[in-house]
Structure 1
Amino acid sequence: MGHPDRREEHASWSAEQCAGIEIVDGLVVASQSASKRYNRLALAPATALDGAAGTDSNADTDCDVCLQDAPLTDRRLDVIVCRAETVDVTPAPSEHVLSVIKVVSPVSKTAARIVKVDQYAKAGTPFYRRVEQAATGVPIVHTYVLDPAPEAYKDGEMLTGVVKAAVPFPVAVSLGVI
């Protein structure tokens, strides 16, 4: 497939060629298949967010977003909340992304905690939430809010059980049943 240095080259690839990959700094990176628990940890907030979104935005799972054009970086997000007008745009432009949720797997801890946090902040994503399972099996949500001046996130709350958020719109998600 080559290295997609340009958006046009990547846009010409088929859906089969794009399945299970991300483009990071112009390099193709394989994405691991998710476990059932991982998928459930993404589906619960996506469903709640989409139901609460109203007509101006929507939430989805397993979506691509363009974080930068040079070098090309497209990430596949576990849960994304975007402005409604981008529902048919792939990858979603970063300026239309309102919030992302990263579900952490055993192999994605470093990327989720350090690399992706930095990339989403530099792309201007207002809210980043990271979902991890504690050693006890209880899901924990780590919240971050963008500070635009340094293009970095401020640490927010750590939440469990029923997670309530007021931004980008009011929503409650029960993680206790997962």
Structure 2
Amino acid sequence: MTADMVAPAWMHEQITAEQYDAWSAEQCAGIEIVDGMVVAGPSASKRHNRLARILANALDAAAGPEWNADTDFDVRLQDVPLVNRRPDVVVYRADTIDLTPTRPEHLLLVVEVVSPGSETTDRIVKVDQYAKAGIAFYWRVEQAATGVPLIYTYVLDPATRAYRDGEMFTGTIKAAVPFSVIVDLRAI
């Protein structure tokens, strides 16, 4: 980093929920907050974004009127220290559409599409955080070298606040839970 490239102070200091909530949508885009610190995520590829959008559209259509599915918005896992995650796809209660921030109790399912630079976070860290927050279902989409995505599903054990393995799908999701949905991810 040269003398001309000085990182802003907020990148070096813990921020509070109140400070974050005062930021614009543009300031919050592309970042997550972990233990009060700003964490910049890797830029998503077109393939990553398309997988997320196809999944969100299919989940939204299958979810029924009680649930909505969408992409790329904040989920407030805890206030102190602030933890805001930005899952690739979220299925949330339709009656909470105007509530901000979105909290774990509003969610049914979160989906992460693993990309270079997000492997450890999506496979280990977020799994633990989402389970401890009480989110009932977690899906992880791996972009395999063959081009055919692998989808791993997890179901929350409420007694242990940990996920147990659900089904694994190759290319096409044919899930019965949290609701019946079929999604072909092979033709991206």
> How big is each residue's C-alpha offset from its partner over 1:81-130, in whole Å with a ceiling of 9 and x where there is no partner?
00012222333111111001100001100001100000000000100000
> How big is each residue's C-alpha offset from its partner over 1:24-47, in whole Å with a ceiling of 9 and x where there is no partner?
111011122211000111111100
State which of 110, 133, 136 in structure 1 corresponds to 2:143. Answer: 133
Give the match's secondary structure for 1:77.
coil
Q: Note if contact 1:124-1:148 (Cα within 8 Å) is conserved in structure 2.
A: yes
State which of 56, 77, 82 in structure 2 corresponds to 1:72. Answer: 82
State which of 79, 96, 99 in structure 2 corresponds to 1:86. Answer: 96
Alignment coverage as a number of residue pairs: 178
Residue number in structure 2 paired with 1:124: 134
Q: Note if contact 2:149-2:170 (Cα within 8 Å) is conserved in structure 1.
A: yes
Once residues 106 and 90 of structure 1 are traced to their aligned partners in structure 2, the CA distance between those partners, rounded to angstroms, is: 30
1:8 equivalent to 2:23? Answer no
1:143 equivalent to 2:135? Answer no
Amino acid at match of 1:134: A
Amino acid at match of 1:21: I
State which of 146, 162, 165 in structure 2 corresponds to 1:155. Answer: 165
4+ residue stretches of structure 1 with deviation over 3 A? none
Give the match's secondary structure for 2:166.
strand
1:167 equivalent to 2:177? Answer yes
Largest Rg, 1 or 2: 2
Give the match's secondary structure for 1:154.
strand
1:57 equivalent to 2:58? Answer no
Residue number in structure 1 paired with 2:5: none
Q: Note if contact 1:5-1:70 (Cα within 8 Å) is conserved in structure 2.
A: no
State which of 34, 37, 54 in structure 2 corresponds to 1:44. Answer: 54
**Length-normalised TM-score, structure 2:** 0.90
Identical counterparts, % of pairs: 65
**Length-normalised TM-score, structure 1:** 0.94
> How big is each residue's C-alpha offset from its partner over 1:53-91, in whole Å with a ceiling of 9 and x where there is no partner?
221110001121011112110000100000012222333
> After the TM superposition, which of the residue ranges 167-176 and 140-149 deviates more from structure 2?
167-176
Once residues 145 and 80 of structure 1 are traced to their aligned partners in structure 2, the CA distance between those partners, rounded to angstroms, is: 15
State which of 122, 128, 134 in structure 2 corresponds to 1:112. Answer: 122
Structure 2 residue runs of 5 or longer lacking an equivalent are 1-8
Once residues 112 and 73 of structure 2 are traced to their aligned partners in structure 1, the CA distance between those partners, rounded to angstroms, is: 12
Give the match's secondary structure for 2:87.
strand
